[in-house]
Structure 1
């Protein structure tokens, strides 16, 4: 496939680029500072782009099979990177005739009903307040994606991210809460992003994901 990755210089985006190349896909990585992007093997094109400036990446979308969006911000200030950036990506996709979008959000937007009381309090009183601006913009992003037209989208909501290895053993729940969700490595999250491209069951759905310590759980090969 011919893939284009936004947020490619972040931890998950970089993993998505590396893994897609390893699987033989052609990849275009959109980054703000190409000189600092050190992934160079395989069929890779690196372009300088800013999701808030559609003219910087619009042409690169032509001929692509799918878009992977791993946008993120490193500050706690008000932001529109998720909402305006993703809206710009979707508009460019529609102009280029690209239909498939895999987009990262966060499990922090909602608190699962089975979350223990202490953890619930930490999420509500600490995490949601600390990242309130990012979460608010992710919520706007998800709303824009849901109301989009002509795009086969999947929004993935991961929990806490780690730098652990790719295990290919993780749990997912499509269109429903995932009980007992824990953290997941960026490598496994990127693995699922790529795998979900062809999964029609995930079209138009929010997917929750988590690592698993259960050897009986599904392992992706």
Structure 2
């Protein structure tokens, strides 16, 4: 049974990733700051009290994993943060120490704008989303640069607006290029795709758009 390590498991996408990974036959280790608040239980689930900003709190859990899935987020906290950048530095350090080479991490489609978005979505991203999330996005950009400069087999997933709706299994992806008019994706489908590509070499060292 392949074993994966999931960060951000208490968030909407992270929780979906844990559930679907267990359903898909993975052994899962979830690193959470407050285990008492994480109610999922499964024979193949290990819950570890840890903080991504404190390497020593989780580095030993990296041993024996085939992949790391990072669903780190700051929720509705729009203040300056280092959760993405420093957290990813620590994750990559632990991966190097344990010789783990596969990383799948969440970013955001609105981090940058491009013509394929179309006028409305590009305007929304630039004039609304980027302004509201200016400080978290600044750290998220640093995180992306850190991942891009690393030696691991990374995939950076850039979803648009996230919705709490059921899994459909039907969505568009663009590996190394951009989707036209990416507006939304359900967290369940986002998690589905992240797990689907754990061993997909075609997605290694690629930035990926996903949307309906």
C-alpha distance in 2 between matches for 1:122 and 1:128: 9
- Equivalenced residue count is 210
- Cα pair 2:32 2:49 within 8 Å, conserved: yes
SS at structure 1 position matched to 2:81: coil
1:88-146 CA-partner distances (Å, limit 9, x unpaired)? 00000000011100000000111230334343322212110100111111110010011
TM-score, L = length of structure 1: 0.93
Aligned to 2:169: 168
How far, CA to CA, are the matches of 1:183 and 1:122 in structure 2? 13
Name which of structure 1's ranges 113-122 and 7-16 shifts more when overlaid on structure 2.
Answer: 113-122
How big is the alpha-carbon RMSD for the aligned residues of Structure 1 and Structure 2? Answer: 1.0
Deviation at 1:183, TM superposition (A): 0.3
Partner of 1:124: 126
Secondary structure, counterpart of 1:46 in structure 2: strand
Alpha-carbon separation, structure 1, partners of 2:117 and 2:106: 22
Alpha carbons of structure 1 residues 114 and 24: separation in structure 2 relative to 1, 3 Å = closer
SS at the partner of 1:134? helix
Runs of 4+ displaced beyond 2 Å: 114-122
Distance 1:209 1:196 in 2: 13
Q: Map 1:87-166; keep pairs closer than 5 Å.
A: 87-149=89-151, 151-166=152-167
- Cα gap change, 1:106 to 1:42, in 2 (>3 Å): same
How does the TM-score come out when normalised to structure 2? 0.96
Whole-angstrom CA distance in 2 between matches of 1:183 and 1:124? 16
Distance 1:190 1:98 in 2: 21
Q: Which runs of 5+ in 1 are unaligned?
A: 212-221
- Unmatched runs of 5 consecutive residues or more in structure 2: none
Indicate the residue corresponding to 1:214 in structure 2: none
Other-structure match for 1:215 = none
